[in-house]
Amino acid sequence: MSGKTTEIKDPENMSAEPRRFAFDYSYWSHDQFTENSEGYLEPSGSKYADQKVVFDDLGRGVLDNAWKGYNCSLFAYGQTGSGKSYSMVGYGSNKGIVPIFCDELFKAVEAKRINAGADEEYQVTLGMLEIYNEQVRDLLNPKTISQKGGLKVRQDPKKGFYVEQLTSCPVNSYKEIDNKINEGTRNRTVASTNMNATSSRAHTIVAITFTQKTPNETGQSMTRTAVVNLVDLAGSERADSTGATGDRLKEGSAINQSLSSLGNVIKALADLSTGKKKTVVPYRDSVLTKLLQNALGGNSKTIMIAALSPADINYEETLSTLRFADRAKAIKTTATVNESPTDRLIRELREENARLMEMLKQGGLSPEMAAALIGGAGGAGGNNSANSGKEVEEMKKQLEEQVRKNQEEMENMKKTWQERMQENKGSISANMEEDNKRQEDRKVIPHLWNLNEDPALTAMVVHFVNEGTSKIGNKKASPPAEITLSGLSILPAHAVVTNKNSNISIKPMEKAKILVNGQRIIKDTQLHHNDRLLFGANNMYVFHHPQDEAKNIKEGKKTETPTFDSAQEEIAQKAGLMNTEGKSAEDMILQEEVVQMLQLVNEANAMSEELDKKVKFEVALMSPQARGLKDGRTAVMVKMISQVNNNEWMWDKNKAINRKSLMQEIYQDFVSGEENWDVPKEKDPFWEPSDQEILIGSAHLHLMSLAHAFDIEETLAITDYKGKEMGHVKVTCKPCTKDYKDLGEDDFVDEPNEMIGKDFYFILKLENCRGLPPNIAKSRCKYKHYTDDKFTETNEVESMNPDFNFEKKYKQTPVTEQYINYLKDGSIVIEVWGRQKGDSNAGAPSNSTVASKGAKPAANNATQQKKPDNKVNNKLKSTPAPAPVPAPVVKEDPKIAAELDSYKKRTNEAEGKLGSIQDQIAAKRKNGQTTITIEELEAMLGGNVNHTRNENLGENTSKACVIQ
């Protein structure tokens, strides 16, 4: 970052020119900061831009414009963890734009109010919503949060798209708005845990409507309104980093629909503003783009913050964010001041309502009329020419809603602000009191506070452990539990927690899953300050004991406050999936992936169980060798196992993430009572067809013997990723002549390098597999030789003991040093792939239409993953990992075995030749002869004494030797 420019360098090509992007502002906040005593991060170097700088540059402009009556929008875009929420909302003392904006707004309002006349009013209302998986949730109305399908998005001919029945809460001070935003965040936390949703996939919109009613010079009341949309977008991970190349269901997820539509809208708008020919801007493609229509291309002053994570591994992602921002920069919106005489606004609303009512009264509403009136349908899709009864009904509903909305707006306009505030006062002050009490109680009463993957949703939910016993259970508990948790694997009666003279213990009920500090508990267990508790699959809490904490401080004992990441790592460690010694960057990445996948697997298992999908999941570590690579990274995979027939499918990380999003969608529908929550198996993320090809295992054929031109004839063990034997494959490699005929008996090569420069031919035969697992219906082998790009494949054969009878001729003309090195050290990895009998959640034969859609084999993704990093020497490989993820086992080093074999063959040949020389000598002696000619010796050695040897013998190669 330098001035207004952001530069980015490709970490894999540091000598290349950096790419430069110019923006209105560029901020660096990655380092050069210190934390002061209040926890505020302030600059310790000249580069660091703190929250104040960002607000002064961006937030203040929004504030000024809101006062002038312009609609304003500010949205934060960027990958997960890049700092969107930090900039928009902030954490602790590091308040972001939203709270500072609210604070400054009310400071200015209060200053105005001091000298305001009776006819002057300054009104602020707050709305807060979340878009998750194309569904809108009103975060200020917990009752609607788990409503089926979310709230409806409708269209108003003047104001554009809006959310039907969204709470709009009048607020009168910073404290009130802060309290309401906290309430919204708390509701969001509970909803995301309840539905097992990934919060970084949600878009959050805080909408502040600021209305000023002031008399103009002539004394006429004027209403000036500004809608300020503050948008924290979902993480922008590109399709190929979290998407699922290789998954037949890759198109299925709606999770990112809003974000990809946003990209399309921005592109279309950028094209329009750079003068490209008229394009239709696809606002209607997603809920987000509908709601942001004004912000993006209409009456609004709009700012976009592009948040970046400047680590090497985020290069691609960062570049794509910068490109996105660059495109957005080209868009020009046209904001106008929203100011009208108050009377006129009221009159217009009244007139419009009269028209609408008249239409409704006539009953015989034609869709064309309705569509013309309301601007072409809203949430229902907008087919103007439709004339089905259902659509007329829908139109009617929209009209009624519009009438209701106008009515409400009219009444609000007529009411004084005092009257409106009075209506809400009770609930707001009760809320604030409750909040204050909660904060005070947290200082003295032991309690559990939540940990969430999203730091913005951490410590939002608190459950107190009062003196005596309290039951913990889900909403179905009868009588209701004192502490209610909802979410995956929470039982109606889950646990009992006891507080006896400040000694706290917890006892799980039968079958209830609770981990304390990563370890499953089955009996009453005492809790200590900062213990980590996982209830079910995804309710993570920290136990806070104020008295214990005070004691610790007194005794000078320091305890770290747990974080979501540290608690997840602990679980992975206790499950034997972490190597604490691994400290290299690659180890850290691997460990992170393991933690991520373990969490995913736990949740997927809980969902499978609740939805009765009859499959279970495991984390699997696959060594590069098991994936057919000589070296590289260990891959973290997820194995799905059918509980019906024990069939197995291996998913790579991307596929697992994609599948989990789809599982969450189904689960969300299930939780919100959607009748048709289940999907046909072709779309079911818990289902795999039987004819999905799977990797049974692989065998390594070492080529050392070929380097000496010896035959190889091996029955190799096929091992799976755990090192378990899955059968055998019979393979031969036979060096041969140019015409692929047998070599002579003595054609072996003593020193492989002697082959360099000569031609080499051999035939590879893959004869059969034996002893494959009984659930395998069909199988085939594939392998790559030397520098092959593509796999060579045998036919697919239907049998547990398939005969492939495959052969392929190879030639290397001439042999290079590199090829010799390949033969000496390398191997051919023979991958054995198969199709199982029966699919994943039914014993019935599979639905072949699914497989024929050209799905790639699941486990094949492993080999399609990122380029393996040869430098990585993964320590996890050698970790003695307990079940369920054992490290690959090598029973006997096949390379050494091949070498030994080749030496044995050479020794045998040499011994044979020595024997024949000795026999000749003995025969000559017997005949009284004492000399033997070189020609005779050569004949005995097979006539093949090579050039190097001849040289060693001197120039006169036909000189006679004397038998000593």
Ligand X SMILES: Nc1ncnc2c1ncn2[C@@H]1O[C@H](COP(=O)(O)OP(=O)(O)OP(=O)(O)O)[C@@H](O)[C@H]1O
Q: What residues line the site for ligand X (CB under 6 A)?
A: 29, 41, 78, 80-86, 91, 200, 235, 307, 454-456
Residue 455 contact among Mg ion, ligand X, none, beta carbon within 5 to 8 Å by kind: ligand X
Residue 667 interface partner, choices ligand X, Mg ion, none, CB cut-off 5-8 Å depending on type: none
Is 85 or 261 the residue whose CB approaches Mg ion more closely? 85
Instruction: Give the type of residue at 957.
Output: T
How many Å apart are CA 655 and CA 246, to the nearest integer? 7
Helix H or strand E segment including 80: none
Asked whether 270 and 295 are in contact (CB, 8 A), the reply is no
Residue, CB closest to ligand X: 83
Report the residue closest to Mg ion, judged by CB: 85
Least distance in Å: CB of 38 to Mg ion? 23
Closer of 200 and 605 to Mg ion (Cβ): 200
For residue 936, give the H/E element and its range. helix 934-940
Judged by beta carbon distances under 5 to 8 A according to partner kind, the member of Mg ion, ligand X, none in contact with residue 812 is none
Q: Both tokens of residue 759?
A: 């031609």
87 or 289, CB closer to Mg ion?
87
Residue 253 partner contact from Mg ion, ligand X, none using kind-dependent CB cut-offs of 5 to 8 Å:
none
CB of 698 to Mg ion, least distance (A): 42
85 lies in the site for Mg ion, by CB under 5 A: yes
The answer to whether 154 and 398 are in contact (CB under 8 A) is yes
Strand stretches in 63-104, DSSP E = 72-78, 90-91, 94-95
Measure the CA–CA gap between 443 and 769, rounded to whole angstroms: 68
Any idea of the CA torsion for 476, 480, 485, 491, to the nearest 10 degrees? -50
How far apart are CB 234 and Mg ion at their closest, in Å? 8
Q: Name the one range near Mg ion by CB under 5 A: 80-88, 577-585, 666-674, 735-743.
A: 80-88
Q: Measured from the CB atom, is 84 or 722 closer to ligand X?
A: 84
Instruction: Please choose, out of 50-58, 77-85, 170-178, 567-575, the segment that lies near Mg ion by the rule CB under 5 A.
Output: 77-85
φ/ψ of residue 268, rounded to 5: -60, -40
Give whichever of 202 and 268 is closer to ligand X, judged by the CB atom: 202
Which of 89/166 has CB closer to Mg ion?
A: 89
Which SS3 state, helix, strand or coil, does residue 295 take? helix
Q: Which does 884 bind (CB under 5 to 8 A by kind): Mg ion, ligand X, none?
A: none
Nearer to Mg ion, 596 or 692 (CB): 596
Least Å from the CB of residue 183 to ligand X: 19
Nearer to ligand X, 193 or 474 (CB): 193
Q: By C-beta, is 6 or 172 nearer to ligand X?
A: 6
Minimum CB separation of residue 58 from Mg ion in Å reads 17
Element holding 546 (H helix, E strand): helix 546-554
Which of ligand X, Mg ion, none does residue 868 bind (CB under 5 to 8 Å by kind)?
none
User: Which secondary structure element, helix H or strand E, spans residue 756, and what is its range?
Assistant: none
Q: Residue 208 in 3-state DSSP?
A: strand
Q: Are 326 and 266 in contact (CB under 8 A)?
A: no
Least gap, CB of 95 to ligand X (angstroms): 12
Cα–Cα distance for residue pair 464/544, rounded to 1 Å: 9
State how far the alpha carbon of 774 is from the alpha carbons of 253, 277, 841, in Å.
Answer: 35, 63, 18
Going by C-alpha positions, the residue among 128, 142, 275 that lies closest to residue 207 is 128
Task: Please state the separation of Cα 788 from the chain's center in Å.
Answer: 32
**Smallest gap from residue 599 Cβ to ligand X (A):** 14
The interface partner of residue 78, options being Mg ion, ligand X, none and the CB cut-off 5 to 8 Å by kind, is ligand X
Based on the shown chain and the rule CB under 5 A, indicate whether residue 87 belongs to the binding site for Mg ion. Answer: no
Q: Which one of Mg ion, ligand X, none interacts with residue 29, CB within 5 to 8 A by kind?
A: ligand X
Distance CA 191, CA 187 (A): 6
Helix (H) or strand (E) holding 410: helix 389-414
From ligand X, Mg ion, none, interface partner of 86 (C-beta below 5 to 8 A by class): ligand X
CA distance 173 to 185: 18
Please give the full DSSP string across 102-115, using - where no structure is assigned. Answer: HHHHHHHHHHHHHT
Q: How far is the CB of 151 from ligand X (least distance, A)?
A: 22
Q: Among residues 783, 786, 784, 793, which one has the least CA distance to residue 760?
A: 786
Nearest distance, CB of residue 306 and ligand X, angstroms? 11
Of the pair 191, 359, the CB lying nearest Mg ion is at 191
Least distance (Å) between residue 86 CB and ligand X: 3
What are the residues whose beta carbons fall under 8 Å from the beta carbon of 149, sequence distance 6 or more? 135, 672, 674
- Nearest to ligand X of 42, 909 (CB atom): 42
Decide whether 569 or 767 has the Cβ nearer to ligand X: 569
Closest separation in Å from C-beta 80 to Mg ion: 7
Smallest distance from the beta carbon of 230 to ligand X, in angstroms?
Answer: 13
- What element of type H or E holds 770? strand 760-770
Stretch that binds Mg ion, among 79-87, 133-141, 382-390, 411-419 (CB under 5 A): 79-87
Closest CB 200 distance from ligand X, rounded Å: 3
Phi, psi dihedral angles at 367 (to 5 degrees) = -60, -35
Query: 510, exposed or middle or buried, with CB in 10 Å at 0-12, 13-18, 19+?
Result: exposed
Tokens 């509903």 belong to 397
Which lies closer to Mg ion via its Cβ, residue 176 or residue 453?
453
Q: Which residues bind Mg ion (CB under 5 A)?
A: 85
